[in-house]
């Protein structure tokens, strides 16, 4: 089966699970539940939960009991998009070709939707532990790491630098800081959640953590490239926003050709680090190519 088909099947399973784990849109008070579902079910590539599931499979574990924890990764990702889109932050009107949450439901609801998704994400990891009978020690470890990866030294720190410092002269260190926190931290967390909850061995956890860090970097470089060269219809968002906002990006700092080459080198290194897992790593290696070659 080719990679794209595998990815679609995995994403479809995540969609089904998300639909099941999210509150019903009719639950009181309905406006928040409808608005939570609006942003969660708006699609997207589901890369983070897929990473959790694929990481578990790469170390030979059964991914089924991990499903609520995998979905938690998507809740975190979506919460960060909803808050980042707010008028006080990036002030975006469109997300995946649809009105952003605050455009559709108003700012107050959008703030609360983000809060609710973040809050629910931690509960879903705990729920995976209870329903899936996973060792509580591993659940506590994942909660601790989630809190760090998403906190003021991680995801939120990245957003602070991205939003607050966006108009100062772009520094290469700022760029790296933002990328590792905003993209890398969540990819790493998604992968580590998969292997830690699988009860993997230390060397396996280290190898997959290394892979995830590199995957995040490749993703961000390509994102920057697509903001310059991409098709806004396929991307589902306007292009050129980095230049408009004078944001530091790989192409703006190193030039387009060097940025793409950098991405390819990092992807090769990442694939190499999965060699010990043999055929079981096929999907995660395929994901690197998929991200390198994407035009959406």
Positions in the binding site for a second copy (CB under 8 A): 23, 27-29, 31-33, 36, 79, 83, 86, 88-89, 106-109, 111-112, 114-116, 118-120, 122-127, 129-130, 135-137, 139-141, 143-144, 146-148, 150-153, 156-157, 159-161, 163-165
Nearer to a second copy, 148 or 269 (CB): 148
Nearer to a second copy, 150 or 285 (CB): 150
Query: Which residues have C-beta within 8 Å of that of residue 83, sequence separation ≥ 6?
Result: 89, 110, 111, 114, 159
Nearer to a second copy, 161 or 285 (CB): 161
Q: What letter does residue 151 receive in the DSSP assignment?
A: S
Nearer to a second copy, 157 or 230 (CB): 157
- Find tokens 């578990």 and name the residue: 56
- Distance of alpha carbon 264 from alpha carbon 270, whole angstroms: 10
Nearest distance, CB of residue 11 and a second copy, angstroms: 25
Token output for 99: 């009105």
Nearer to a second copy, 31 or 228 (CB): 31
Query: Within 13 Å and on the Cβ side, how many CA atoms surround 96?
Result: 13
Nearest distance, CB of residue 227 and a second copy, angstroms: 21
Nearest distance, CB of residue 111 and a second copy, angstroms: 6
Nearest distance, CB of residue 142 and a second copy, angstroms: 9
Nearer to a second copy, 146 or 288 (CB): 146
Nearest distance, CB of residue 166 and a second copy, angstroms: 10
Nearest distance, CB of residue 40 and a second copy, angstroms: 12
Q: Are 118 and 146 in contact (CB under 8 A)?
A: no
Nearest C-alpha neighbor of 36 from the set 121, 97, 96, 154: 121
Nearer to a second copy, 157 or 194 (CB): 157
- Distance of alpha carbon 251 from alpha carbon 248, whole angstroms: 9
Report the DSSP beta bridge partners of residue 223.
none
Nearer to a second copy, 136 or 265 (CB): 136
Nearest distance, CB of residue 39 and a second copy, angstroms: 13
What value does the CA radius of gyration of the chain take, rounded to a whole number of Å? 18
Q: Are 14 and 68 in contact (CB under 8 A)?
A: no
- Distance of alpha carbon 97 from alpha carbon 280, whole angstroms: 35
- Distance of alpha carbon 195 from alpha carbon 190, whole angstroms: 9
Nearest distance, CB of residue 35 and a second copy, angstroms: 9
**Widest pairwise Cα distance in the chain:** 53
Q: What letter does residue 281 receive in the DSSP assignment?
A: G
- Distance of alpha carbon 238 from alpha carbon 245, whole angstroms: 13
């Amino acid at each position: 089966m080719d990679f794209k088909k595998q990815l679609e099947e995995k994403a479809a399973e995540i969609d089904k699970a998300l639909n099941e784990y999210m509150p019903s849109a009719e639950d009181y008070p309905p406006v928040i539940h409808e608005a939570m579902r609006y942003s969660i079910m708006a699609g997207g590539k589901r890369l983070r939960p897929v990473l959790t599931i694929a990481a578990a499979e790469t170390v030979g574990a059964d991914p089924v009991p991990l499903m609520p924890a995998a979905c938690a990764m998507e809740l975190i990702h979506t919460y960060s998009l909803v808050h980042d889109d707010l008028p006080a932050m990036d002030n975006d009107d469109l997300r995946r070709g649809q009105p952003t949450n605050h455009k559709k439901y108003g700012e107050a609801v959008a703030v609360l939707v983000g809060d609710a998704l973040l809050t629910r994400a931690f509960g879903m990891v705990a729920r995976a532990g209870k329903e899936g009978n996973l060792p509580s020690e591993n659940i506590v470890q994942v909660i601790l790491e989630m809190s760090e990866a998403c906190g003021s030294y991680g995801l939120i720190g990245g957003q602070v630098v991205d939003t607050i410092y966006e108009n100062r002269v772009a520094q290469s260190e700022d760029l790296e800081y933002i990328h590792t926190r905003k993209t890398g931290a969540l990819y790493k967390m998604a992968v580590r959640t998969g292997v830690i909850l699988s009860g993997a061995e230390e060397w396996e956890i280290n190898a997959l953590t290394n892979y995830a860090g590199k995957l995040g970097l490749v993703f961000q470089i390509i994102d920057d490239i697509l903001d310059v060269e991409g098709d806004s219809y396929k991307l589902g968002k306007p292009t050129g926003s980095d230049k408009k906002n004078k944001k530091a990006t790989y192409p703006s700092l190193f030039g387009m050709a060097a940025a793409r080459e950098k991405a390819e080198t990092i992807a090769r290194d990442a694939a190499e680090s999965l060699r010990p897992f043999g055929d079981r790593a096929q999907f995660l290696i395929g994901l690197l190519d998929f991200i390198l070659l994407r035009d959406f």
